[in-house]
Amino acid sequence: MAINEKYSYNGIDLERKKADRIALDEAIAIKRQEIIDSPETRTGIILRQIKNLENDYNDKWKNETSPKFKRKQFLDVDPAEFSNSTIMNTDFRQYEPYTRVFPDGIENLEFKNCILDNCIIPDKAIVGSGCLNRHYKTQNDGEYWFVDTELRPISPKNYGRFDFLGLSKNPADIPAEPLSERITVASDPRVIEQREFEAFKNDETRLRSALSLERAGSDPRLLRQ
């Protein structure tokens, strides 16, 4: 079948991406030389400028590779626009599971290397190689869980993260009421440590005591234990 040019994504311009990467590396090299040549007071400013350059590059190429049909529906489009064609490399994912995306009446359509998460596939369409067609929904723990056709949770989408943090992957253990933040954030040891430090830093009484001990040659970190 012919490639559906309108709804397919043909990839990125690798030569342009390579040129942008070279330009980025050159700009970063100049900034790093500025760090060497500048007073210490400008080091933080220049490091932030380098980070901004890297973010701009990453954002540009992320957008370049993100198809424009994500979270859109085509229910009012003539099915002939899809019939007898192959759609490649396109992200059609939706917010809600089992969302109708495509019009009725499509004939002989094939998807290849497409993201079709939370999409209902047309009756006479084929989900070919490289495609994803999963259905997931945010639960009361703030995380995406894969769901069945009745929207009942089956397993966490970020299974590895749950495993790493020692969180239950049993749907029965999902909180009955919505949490104030995602459970993987609240349970992250790095987040917990950072919050403990912020609380310590903002507690004037503990901070004064720590400074007093520091002047006396003690380790203020003992107060945090």
In the chain (225 residues long), the average pLDDT of successive 10-residue segments reads: 85 70 86 78 80 77 60 96 93 95 97 93 94 96 97 95 94 97 94 85 74 61 50
As a whole number of angstroms, the distance between CA 207 and CA 189 comes to: 23
As a whole number of angstroms, the distance between CA 61 and CA 54 comes to: 11
Quick one: pLDDT at residue 66? 46
Quick one: pLDDT at residue 29? 86
Cβ-based burial of 87 (10 A; exposed 0-12, middle 13-18, buried ≥19):
buried
Quick one: pLDDT at residue 75? 97
Cα-based distances in Å from 19 to 14, 15, 73, 210: 9, 6, 35, 52
Assess contact for 137 and 119: CB atoms under 8 A.
no
Quick one: pLDDT at residue 63? 46
Question: pLDDT (tens digit, 9 = 90+) per residue, 37-62?
Answer: 777 667 778 888 888 888 777 766 65
Cα-based distances in Å from 136 to 94, 128, 148: 10, 20, 8
Quick one: pLDDT at residue 64? 45
For the chain, the domains span 1-134, 136-186, 189-224
Quick one: pLDDT at residue 140? 98
Q: Taking the CA of residue 62 as centre, how many other CA atoms within 13 Å lie in the half-sphere pointing to its CB?
A: 6
Quick one: pLDDT at residue 65? 40
Quick one: pLDDT at residue 14? 60
